[in-house]
Amino acid sequence: MDLILERGLDVGDALPTESELSAELGVGRNTVRESLKVLQALGVIEIRHGFGMFVAPNNFSALVSGLTFRGRLSLRHKGEEAMELIDVRQALESGLIGTAIDLLTDDHLADLRATMEAMENAARNDEPLYEHDAEFHRRLYAPLNNELLINLMDVFWQVYRKIHLALGTGPVNLEQQTQDHWDIFEAVANKDKALASERLQRHFDGIRLKLKDVAAA
């Protein structure tokens, strides 16, 4: 990683070959090969067989896998780590909603409304809402233009989704889930920061209760 930084390499740039790295770092080819596997698993590099090694684009898959494992494991013991994930996401979203509202434009609000209408239509047809739910939260914070925040929110969403699929959290009330998001939308549209924050917290309280039920089972 130091070599990548020192050479000024960026996303998509090619790395030296294994032979070149072995010579430059003064270690054996096997050591280089094992190290590259670790960097690949961490999402630092990508290996394209037949083409070479390259600096990888933003990739949070390793983080998703690690947090999912820890969250599922914790559900055997009161689910504390899984709850902490919800706490962190709630703190991020509730803490930043005011700034997002300040930067909200008519176009942002139109996108958010379109997402809600798609969610409502899916609920009416008894279809899963998780993709619409995730898109709602992405668009809710789109005014911040913060790619890292969106990526982290996606990580937390994927982790919760994987836990949900693996362990099950009981039937979902699609109508209530849709209404909860309409309530958040209404507060945001009215630029009521305090109410938007309160409704977001209530939304995460519902997720937390579902996980508590699983942990207690």
pLDDT above 60 (res 116): yes
**pLDDT number for residue 170:** 59
Q: What is the dihedral of CA 143, 148, 149, 153, to 10 degrees?
A: 120
**pLDDT number for residue 21:** 94
Domains of the chain by residue range: 1-55, 61-216
pLDDT tens digits, one per residue of 189-205: 999 999 999 999 988 88
**pLDDT number for residue 151:** 87
Residues present in the chain in total: 217
Backbone angles phi, psi at 42, to 5 degrees: -80, -10
**pLDDT number for residue 185:** 97
User: Residues 119-133: what's their mean pLDDT?
Assistant: 93
**pLDDT number for residue 166:** 67
Yes or no: domain 1-55 corresponds to CATH 3.40.50.720? no
pLDDT tens digits, one per residue of 51-103: 999 998 877 777 788 888 887 777 777 667 778 888 888 999 999 999 999 99
Q: Name the least confident of 6-20, 42-56, 62-76.
A: 62-76
**pLDDT number for residue 67:** 82
Q: What is the SS3 string spanning 162-206?
A: HHHHHHCCCCCCHHHHHHHHHHHHHHHHCCCHHHHHHHHHHHHHH
Mind giving me the DSSP string for 90-148?
HHHHHHHHHHHHHT--HHHHHHHHHHHHHHHHHHHTT---HHHHHHHHHHHTGGG--HH
DSSP 44: S
pLDDT above 80 (res 39): yes
The span from the CA of 154 to the CA of 164, in Å, is 15
pLDDT: which is higher, 172 or 49: 49
The span from the CA of 197 to the CA of 104, in Å, is 15
CATH no. of 61-216:
1.20.120.530
Element (H, E) at 33: helix 29-41
pLDDT tens digits, one per residue of 130-176: 899 999 999 999 999 998 898 888 888 888 887 777 666 556 789 99
pTM for this entry: 0.74
pLDDT: which is higher, 209 or 1: 1
Closest CA to 203 of 179, 174, 172: 179
User: Residues 170-186: what's their mean pLDDT?
Assistant: 89
**pLDDT number for residue 171:** 67
Residue 88, SS3?
A: helix
Beta-bridged to residue 45, according to DSSP, are 55
Percent of the chain with pLDDT over 90: 56
Q: Which residues contact 81 (CB under 8 A, 6 or more apart)?
A: 70, 71, 73, 74
Residue 84, SS3?
A: helix
